[in-house]
Amino acid sequence: MFQRILLAYDFSPHAEVAKQIAQVLAQGKNKQLWALSVIEPLEEPLAEVGEPPMVKTEAWQNAVALSEKELEQERSQRLVQDIAELEAAGINITPVVRWGDPAEEILAAAKEFGADLIVMGSHSNRTFWEVILGSVTEKVAKQAPCPVLIVSHRPPHPGMTHQRVLFATDFSPHAEVAYKVALSLAKEEKHHLYLLTVIPSSGEKETDLWVDSQAEAERKLQKLAAEARERGIQAGTLIRHGNAVKEINKAALDVDADLIVLGSHSRRNIWDVLLGNTAESVSRRAYCPVLIVSHLPGNNAHSGGQPGKA
């Protein structure tokens, strides 16, 4: 399904796991993998307080330029060394080093290369600034022109060998787009597909509202399952009650899923800022890779992507 894959690589432990997943996905004919490392521009603290009298502008600029050149050379050499095993495995891979904001450069590269999948790691802990400004993975997942596979380095990590896909849905438009990707992936790779929805817990069971919600969820899930079976895909349904993030990750463990697929809203509200949205929160806590599909206008996820020029 995925032919043009962009691996965002920052040399961290979670990026190392993402590299291993990218290697699996990039195997086969007519597949291309780009390994992108983004260097953030060097800070110039002296510029904030004014130049020291003894340092000329030209000398300072030359020193900064030299440091940046050395940093780029070091990053390029390290990237080539780290992806040597992928080349040895026969993967068609191109190393790329760029300067700028990581999220912006990843998004720009995905569009430039016509990527139909972005693979990147996710830290399991959020810093204060990530809560306020949003993490790189969150920004990329919300704005990407293609699905984003986020790989956590939380052990145990089952990898992608069990061929079980868990699709979590809230039956919204962005979930519909993600479902098309889940269907295509399950059919092509002959995965078993589990369809899950989580009903928020009201604290009281067997009320009329609870019964109606359960029945409606079951009806919608069975409709999706029937569509999957018509395509020759083995599909089962799951309904859980409670916190969506916890229940999605618990269900993934219960069915021994090797991949979670879900949609992502393209806009953030105040609760996303304070608590983190469901898609990103799942990816941070999951014990398997999480494929997030944005429903941004122009997103090519449902069509398999449009190859671009390398």
Q: What is the pLDDT of residues 160-198, one digit of tens each?
A: 555 899 999 999 888 998 999 999 988 887 889 999 999
Q: Please give the residue range of the domain that contains residue 140.
A: 4-44+60-303
Kindly tell me if the per-residue pLDDT of 71 is higher than 80: no
Q: What is the pLDDT of residues 248-305, one digit of tens each?
A: 999 999 999 989 999 886 444 444 444 447 887 888 788 889 999 986 555 544 444 4
pLDDT of residue 274: 41
Residue appearing with tokens 């919608």:
220
Our count of domains for the chain comes to 1
- Domain contains 81: yes
**Rounded Cα gap, residues 268 and 261, in angstroms:** 20
Question: For 200-228, what is the mean pLDDT?
Answer: 84
Kindly tell me if the per-residue pLDDT of 35 is higher than 80: yes
- Domain contains 32: yes
- Domain contains 55: no
Q: How many residues does the chain have?
A: 310
Query: What one-character DSSP code corresponds to residue 302?
Result: G
Cα–Cα separations (whole angstroms), residue 89 to 85, 92, 93, 104, 115: 6, 9, 10, 30, 21
* Selected residue with higher pLDDT from 142 and 110: 110
Place 136 in a pLDDT band, splitting at 50, 70 and 90. Answer: confident
CATH code, domain with 95: 3.40.50.12370
pLDDT of residue 235: 95
Place 43 in a pLDDT band, splitting at 50, 70 and 90. Answer: low
Kindly tell me if the per-residue pLDDT of 5 is higher than 80: yes
72 membership: H or E segment, kind and range? helix 57-82
- Domain contains 310: no
- Domain contains 52: no
Alpha helices in 163-300 (DSSP H): 173-189, 208-230, 244-254, 270-275, 278-285
pLDDT of residue 106: 95
5 membership: H or E segment, kind and range? strand 4-8
Query: What one-character DSSP code corresponds to residue 157?
Result: -
pLDDT of residue 191: 84
- Domain contains 54: no
**Rounded Cα gap, residues 170 and 180, in angstroms:** 14
Helix (H, G, I), strand (E, B) or coil at 39: strand
**Rounded Cα gap, residues 257 and 252, in angstroms:** 5
- Domain contains 228: yes
Least confident of 133-137, 144-148, 177-181, 185-189: 133-137
pTM of the model: 0.79
**Rounded Cα gap, residues 296 and 148, in angstroms:** 13
**Rounded Cα gap, residues 281 and 53, in angstroms:** 50
- Domain contains 136: yes
**Rounded Cα gap, residues 163 and 149, in angstroms:** 16
Burial 42-60 (b: 16+ CB within 10 A, else e): eeeeeeeeeeeeeeeeeee
For residues 211 and 169, is the Cβ–Cβ distance under 8 A? no
Of 167, 171, 170, residue with least CA distance to 183: 167
Helix (H, G, I), strand (E, B) or coil at 17: helix
